[in-house]
Amino acid sequence: MENTHADLDTAPDVPPARISSSRKRLLAVTGVLVVLLAAVFFVATSGPDEGTPFRMVGSVQLFEPDHVELTPSGCRGTGEFADVVENTPVTVYDDAGSPVATGRLDSSEPVRADRDDPASPVIECSFTFVVEDVPGGTGAKGGHSGHAAHAAHEGGDAVLQVEVARRGKVVVDTYTAEAGLVCLTVVGDPVT
């Protein structure tokens, strides 16, 4: 038999490489795991950008039963606490003490000694507040508030100071502030 040029140019038919179904599943599972791990890493390492403004939400409790008065919209402070009413300024300061944002006390709600008995005496007046455009912090997770936050501040966590009326500043870490967990208590005379 004589070989012709046409016979040399034709290669024998070779079937393409096949990937078994178990290997396909392994590759698919590996791909999904890589994507999931990348997403977990992204979420774990990302947080609020420093300086990104946020909305601080919190509450203020006036625990002075002799100085709480009922109003048509809720309650208010009286006597030496007459400055603790709806629309009272709430000022946020940076850790250096410079004012950075201002809000106001919003709605108030009387708290009774027996919450289920409307005739029960009022023992507290609770207010909510919102302060818009508070400069963001590091988002450091500390979960501190009050004096514990001051100790955290000395350790490097970012903090803010919050003041209701002129009753003194309370130190709050930025994680607590950004999470909407600020809860303040009003006691004593205003700061002069």
Assessment of whether the complete model's pTM goes beyond 0.85:
no
Q: What is the dihedral of CA 167, 171, 175, 178, to 10 degrees?
A: 20
**Predicted local confidence at residue 187, as pLDDT:** 75
CA atoms lying within 13 Å on the CB side of residue 33 = 6
| Beta pairing partners, 58 | 129, 182
Segment 46-55 mean pLDDT: 68
| Beta pairing partners, 184 | 60
Q: Which of 11-25, 45-59, 151-165 has the lowest mean pLDDT?
A: 11-25
Burial code (b: 16+ CB inside 10 Å, e: under 16) for 21-56 equals eeeeeeeeeeeeeeeeeeeeeeeeeebeeeeeebeb
Segment 109-128 mean pLDDT: 93
Residue found by looking up tokens 């004589």 in the block: 2
**Predicted local confidence at residue 137, as pLDDT:** 65
Cβ–Cβ < 8 Å for 99, 78:
no
Q: Where are the domains of the chain?
A: 18-45, 54-186
Distance CA(105)–CA(146), nearest Å, equals 19
